[in-house]
Amino acid sequence: MPTANTQEENSKSELQKNHGGGGGFTRWAVVAVIFRLALIYFPGNLNLSSRPEVSTPLTSIRRLAEGYWLKQSSMSPYAGSMYHGSPLLLSVLGPLTVKRIEGQPGHILCSLVFVLADLISAILIRATGRKLQIAYRKSLKSLNLPNKSTDSGALSSGDIAALVYLWNPFTIVACVGLSTSPVENLFTILTLYGAATGLAPLAAFGWVMATHLSLYPAILIIPVILLLGYGPDAPPSKLFRSKEHGKVGDGKSSQEIIFSWRRAFHLLVWTSLWSVYVLVLCSISVKQHGSLQEMFQRTYGFILTVEDLSPNIGVLWYFFAEVFDFFRDFFLIVFHSNILFMILPLAIRLKHRPCFLAFVYIAISSMLKSYPSVGDSALYLGLLGLFLDELADMQFSFFLFCGYVGVSLLSPVMHNLWIWRGTGNANFYYATAMAYACFQIVLVVESVSSMLNHDRKLTKLSTSKLQK
């Protein structure tokens, strides 16, 4: 019951806070929900659900409805390479795709589910942000540094992150365009929330579900373990140690950061429990018409072998359309290990900031995944808001903003030029995809470097204090 928890917490913290941040958040969140409902009601002729930017072979609701239809007519939902999602999602959302209410637009129930998912995600982001902020203030206090983040504005970084998530056009488009990415994002955020609040069972559940739905969140296990082991983001532990060293006369060592093996062990136990549970549910669901092996082949295998080469905003489809079949396996390994190569160095460098590490992992995987959509970008852009205090002096913010706006407008135009007018070709569209990837790289690089700069600044400040 994460919602009840967070809402309780929200109300508590609103009482603690005297400025009107909470009210502002509620108001804007309600407006965001109303805005989504309005868009659902007047879909116009936007055809969002058939846009390649919004719905990928993995997240398209039309494919899900097809899979459900196949299942209803006693066939394997994975027959015919239409559906590639989870059987659990099929059991939950499938019945909603066929149910029509008189006088309402089609798929209205699904839309409502996605709106709800977005709202819960935002609330969870907000709660996570609050946790992070409390931890940040505590660590600043223990380093005897003045806390400057309070005068940053009326809203705290958690609120801003939640609102950024809710009001991001990408999120809105993914939600209104009936892709299942809001649900996938919800479980990823749930993982982070569970880990940040130290609830190993919740984190394990979120992680297992997110991995089950879209595979790539599997790499989040490292930040989740770190988060549970070390607690939320803090300045480098070296800093505390040197501080303890300086004040050795006090004999206090409460600030010593120890990795809590007990919690990590809890997480592993819960993870295996939930995994078994999910697998059992899946096998029950696919038992009649297929097997678990087919499910793995058609979901994870489909993701890893990049079978569907229809255009999307990622960089893999064009490459694998061009590459000789002979080299295909080799390049599949190269491209997927791209993500894996980055895991370890980043984990070592950013181990004191597990939440930020999770953000970086999510951003990298949404850039290099086989079927990316704007919903993935929506997730990491929302999480970016959580580190507002640390990333306050990030460079290129304006440039990145212009780039994101420009690319997200240019991409549909190029697609139109290629598909409908026939005057352009695939290179036009792929060029925007590459530009988009470049902007994402710049974003990741800049945010990591400014986070490291922030740490350096803290180190400098605290050492200068110690020397005084």
Partner 1 sequence: MAKVEKKEVAAATPPWKPKPRPIVRLGIVLISHSLLVSVVCCTAGIVALFLLPMLAKNTYISENALMPGSASSMLSNHDISEAERLAKDLTSLNSGAADAGIERRRVLAKYLSDLGVEVGYHKFQSHQNQFHPLHFFSSPDSGLSQENGSCSSYGINVVGIIRAPQADGKEAIVLVTPFNFRKNSSSEALSISIGYAVFSLLSRVSWLAKDIIWLVADSQYGEYASVASWLRDYHIPVFSASSSHNADSCFEGNNINLLREESPGRTEISSGFRRAGTMAAALVLKVTDVKGQLEDTLSVYAEASNGQMPNLDLINVVNYLAVHRQGLRVKVEKFLSVLTWEWIWMLGDTLNFIGKVAGSLNPEWKFGISTPDYVEGTATLASSLYRQALGIPTGPHGAFRDFQVDAITLEISPKVVYTNQGRRNEFILRSARLIEGVVRSVNNLLEKFHQSFFLYLLTSPAKFVSVGVYMIGFALLVAPLPLVAASLYVDANKPEPSSQDPKQKLQINFKPWKWLSAAKQVFTVHAWGVFVSLLPYFISQIPNSTPAAHSIIWFSLSTFGLLVLYLITKSPSKPQKGKWENLKSVTISAVFIGLLLMSVVNFATAQIGALVLVPACLLAQPLKLDIRTASLKSFLRIATNVFISFVAFPPAGFFILKGVNEGFGNMDVGEFWTWLESLWAWNSATYIYIGMVHLPCWVLCLQILLHSC
Residue with tokens 């136990």: 269
**Is residue 435 a contact point for partner 1 (CB under 8 A)?**
yes
**By C-beta, is 242 or 297 nearer to partner 1?**
242
For partner 1, the binding residue among 135, 279, 461, 466 (CB under 8 A) is: 461
**By C-beta, is 254 or 423 nearer to partner 1?**
423
**By C-beta, is 143 or 286 nearer to partner 1?**
143
Long-range residue pairs from 357-362, CB within 8 A, at least 24 positions apart, any chain: 357/222, 357/223, 357/226, 358/192, 358/220, 358/223, 358/224, 358/227, 358/383, 359/383, 359/384, 359/386, 359/387, 359/447, 360/444, 360/447, 360/448, 361/219, 361/220, 361/222, 361/223, 362/188, 362/217, 362/220
For partner 1, the binding residue among 16, 18, 254, 464 (CB under 8 A) is: 464
Least CB distance to partner 1 at residue 213 (A) = 29
For partner 1, the binding residue among 15, 16, 42, 44 (CB under 8 A) is: 44
Closest CA to 389 of 185, 223, 189, 140: 140
**Is residue 327 a contact point for partner 1 (CB under 8 A)?**
no
Tell me, residue by residue from 53 to 72, as one string, x for binding to partner 1 by CB under 8 A and - for no binding: --------------------
For partner 1, the binding residue among 14, 24, 33, 46 (CB under 8 A) is: 46
Tell me, residue by residue from 391 to 430, as one string, x for binding to partner 1 by CB under 8 A and - for no binding: -xxxxxxxx-xxx-xx--xx-xxx-xx--xxxx-------
**By C-beta, is 235 or 290 nearer to partner 1?**
235
For partner 1, the binding residue among 45, 73, 74, 254 (CB under 8 A) is: 45
Binding-site size, partner 1 (CB under 8 A): 41
**Is residue 457 a contact point for partner 1 (CB under 8 A)?**
yes
Least CB distance to partner 1 at residue 87 (A) = 32
For partner 1, the binding residue among 3, 26, 47, 293 (CB under 8 A) is: 47
Least CB distance to partner 1 at residue 445 (A) = 12
Q: Two tokens at 434?
A: 């590459």
Long-range residue pairs from 64-69, CB within 8 A, at least 24 positions apart, any chain: 64/89, 64/90, 64/93, 64/94, 64/97, 64/180, 65/94, 65/97, 65/98, 67/94, 68/93, 68/94, 68/95, 68/97, 68/98, 69/98
Least CB distance to partner 1 at residue 55 (A) = 15
Alpha carbons 308 and 292: distance in angstroms, whole number: 21
Alpha carbons 125 and 434: distance in angstroms, whole number: 30
Least CB distance to partner 1 at residue 270 (A) = 37
Which residues ranging from 121 to 180 are in contact with partner 1 (CB under 8 A)?
140, 145-146, 148-149, 152
Least CB distance to partner 1 at residue 423 (A) = 4
Least CB distance to partner 1 at residue 248 (A) = 24
Least CB distance to partner 1 at residue 457 (A) = 7
Least CB distance to partner 1 at residue 235 (A) = 11
**Is residue 41 a contact point for partner 1 (CB under 8 A)?**
no
Report which residue type is found at 343.
I
**By C-beta, is 333 or 445 nearer to partner 1?**
445
Which range, of 67-75, 80-88, 90-98, 452-460, touches partner 1 by CB under 8 A?
452-460
**Is residue 449 a contact point for partner 1 (CB under 8 A)?**
no
Alpha carbons 281 and 284: distance in angstroms, whole number: 5
Least CB distance to partner 1 at residue 275 (A) = 42
Least CB distance to partner 1 at residue 133 (A) = 13
Which residues ranging from 378 to 397 are in contact with partner 1 (CB under 8 A)?
389, 392-397
- Which residues of the shown chain bind partner 1 in the complex (CB under 8 A)? 44-47, 140, 145-146, 148-149, 152, 389, 392-399, 401-403, 405-406, 409-410, 412-414, 416-417, 420-423, 435, 457-458, 460-461, 464
